[in-house]
């Protein structure tokens, strides 16, 4: 049986969820609110669903100040959302860099095409740039579907290139069970956050 993670209550919608599905906030020494995505920062933690709505409600109802029993700074919902989004993107980016250092990444449509077709049973994920050409994008998506590989459209070419230490890349394939699992999980969280979905309550 899978070990259950402890449950915490979202200070926005008040529903209880697994801790892992929520976002933790801590208070910095200067009294500002810090989103703690890794759930590792010291001090008391306050939680919300990973949803813009819940963060907004928590801000508007001054729930952070109430929970921390002090006048909390930096509770502008838009700024918090942008910050969380940036942190989530950084995390996805850091897994891509790590996978790259571990030699688990190929990029460019020819190389990626080869890899998708070749090792059928190894776990993979296809990352497409948001600014990939329509032609290449369609071709790669088709091939991924055919090979049973999940494809995700995420960062732009420039960002993939920077993460890989290369010129801009529009198509990237990640291999290796650990990296693929982590990336899928992080990307799902990121997408749910952008879509405004989170824990069902």
The residues binding Zn ion (CB under 5 A) are 10, 12-13, 49, 54
Q: How many CB atoms lie within 10 A of CB 134?
A: 7
The CB-of-16 to Zn ion minimum distance in angstroms stands at 10
Contact 132, 138 (CB under 8 A): no
From 3, 42, 31, 33, select the one nearest 19 (Cα to Cα): 3
Residue 68 CA: distances (Å) to CA of 28, 43, 44, 47, 166: 11, 10, 8, 11, 45
Q: In angstroms, what is the minimal distance from the CB of 191 to Zn ion? A: 18
Q: Are 152 and 95 in contact (CB under 8 A)?
A: no
Q: Tell me the two tokens of residue 32.
A: 């500002």
Cβ(87)–Cβ(31) below 8 Å: no
* Closest among 126, 116, 111 to 187, alpha carbons compared: 126
Q: Residue 15 Cβ, how far from Zn ion at the closest point, in Å?
A: 6
Cβ proximity to Zn ion: between 10 and 132 the closer is 10
Phi, psi of 57 (to 5 degrees): -60, -45
Closer to Zn ion at the Cβ: 10 or 75?
A: 10
Nearest residue (CB) to Zn ion, 77 versus 108: 77
* Residue 84 or 105 having the CB closest to Zn ion: 84
Q: Closest approach of Cβ 75 to Zn ion, in Å?
A: 16
Give the strand pairing for 33-36 and 105-107. Answer: unpaired
Closest CB to Zn ion among 60 and 181? 60
Closest distance of CB 5 from Zn ion, Å: 16
Closest distance to Zn ion from the beta carbon of 62 (Å): 16
Give whichever of 68 and 95 is closer to Zn ion, judged by the CB atom: 68
């Amino acid at each position: 049986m899978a070990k259950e993670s402890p449950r915490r209550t979202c200070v926005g919608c008040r529903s209880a969820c697994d801790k892992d599905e929520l976002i933790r906030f801590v208070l910095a020494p200067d009294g500002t609110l810090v989103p703690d995505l890794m759930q590792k920062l010291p001090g008391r933690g306050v939680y919300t669903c990973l949803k813009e709505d819940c963060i907004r409600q928590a801000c508007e109802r001054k729930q952070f100040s109430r929970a921390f029993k002090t006048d909390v700074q930096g509770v502008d919902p838009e700024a918090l959302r942008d910050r969380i989004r940036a942190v989530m993107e950084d995390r996805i980016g850091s897994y891509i860099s790590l996978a790259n250092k571990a030699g688990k990444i190929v990029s460019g449509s020819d190389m990626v095409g080869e890899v998708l077709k070749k090792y059928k049973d190894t776990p993979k994920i296809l990352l497409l740039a948001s600014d990939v050409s329509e032609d290449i994008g369609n071709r790669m998506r088709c091939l991924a579907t055919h090979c049973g590989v999940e494809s995700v459209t995420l960062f732009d070419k420039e960002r993939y290139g920077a993460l890989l230490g290369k010129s801009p890349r529009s198509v990237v394939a990640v291999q290796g069970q650990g990296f693929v699992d982590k990336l899928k999980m992080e990307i799902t969280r990121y997408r749910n956050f952008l879509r405004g979905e989170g824990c069902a309550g």
